Amino acid sequence: MLSTSIRRRDARDRHTRTCGRSGSALSVRVRRAVGVVVSVPVLAVSVVACGAGSDGAGDGGKKDGSRQERASGGSGGADSGGSAGKSGGGGSGGGGAAEEKRLASALLKSGDVKGYRVQRSKKDALPAQNTVQSYERKCSAVTDVMDSDPERARTAYTNGVLQKGSSPSAGGAVQQVLLASYAKGGAEEWLSDLKRALGGCKSFTAKDGAGDKVRLTVSRGPVGVVGDDSVEFTLRVRQQSDSPLVFTVVRTGGRTATFMSISLSGKPQPVEKALAVKQHRKLAALGGGR
């Protein structure tokens, strides 16, 4: 499934080969800059494979809702961000297009952190078909980080690619951030669930939207370093262990910023702390996040 030889080559054609192609959350293949074919989780697919829009705010959109929303008749649709449910409500700043626009306004912009460009994604980062489910319920909070249908429903979200250098992979990793809002208490509950799961889920099996099984291994990193709460962990897909993914989840009130970094060197490479700190401050400035 994975080419293990490292061949330096120009891989710009990955965009045209993968853009617009549907795929499951753990099996979309992207040819990275060093010439290795890897599977990239759903959060990275739309940005890495299909490019991004300009940084800053954009028009709101909708997506297919979470488990809870679909059960109660929530609606969807989607470009660049998403919302599940009606405006207002919750304690996190609400949901719907209005909250999505607030999140977009708080998304990191080029120049916020020296050396980084940020582009808001043109595509929905979490299309409804991209689900990832753990076979062990106690580990669900881990897979929820890249699941379009998480246990703790997102009421609105937006995302963008972080670029250091001349291309998304020039810094040695492909990196992205997803900002999300939740119903009252949802963000706090997810972080609590996630920390508990990371304490007991070192290796487990998950199933993606296409029904494919994958074996995942997890190692926990620092906790509570940034924001009101935070947790960092490294996720490896057994079939692609040379491409570790580092997730840094930062809670700001009732909102979260989830950073994903896909290493191109084989060694885990988390996002720089300055990015997480700046994003936390921008979300905090929105207010109304509890």
Domains of the chain: 56-286 (3.40.1000.70)
Better-scored residue on pLDDT, 209 or 283? 283
- Provide the pLDDT for residue 81: 65
Tens of pLDDT along 91-131? 445 678 999 999 999 999 999 999 999 998 877 878 887 78
pLDDT on residue 93: 54
How many Cα atoms sit within 13 Å of 56 on the Cβ side? 2
pLDDT more than 90, % of the chain:
46
The two structure tokens encoding residue 239: 């079939």
pLDDT reported for residue 57: 38
Question: Residue 270 carries which DSSP code?
Answer: P
Confidence of residue 216 (pLDDT cuts 50, 70, 90): very high
Mean pLDDT within 58-73: 38
Contacts of 248 (CB under 8 A, 6+ apart): 221, 226, 230, 231, 232, 258, 259, 261, 270, 271, 276
For the entire predicted model, the pTM comes to: 0.75
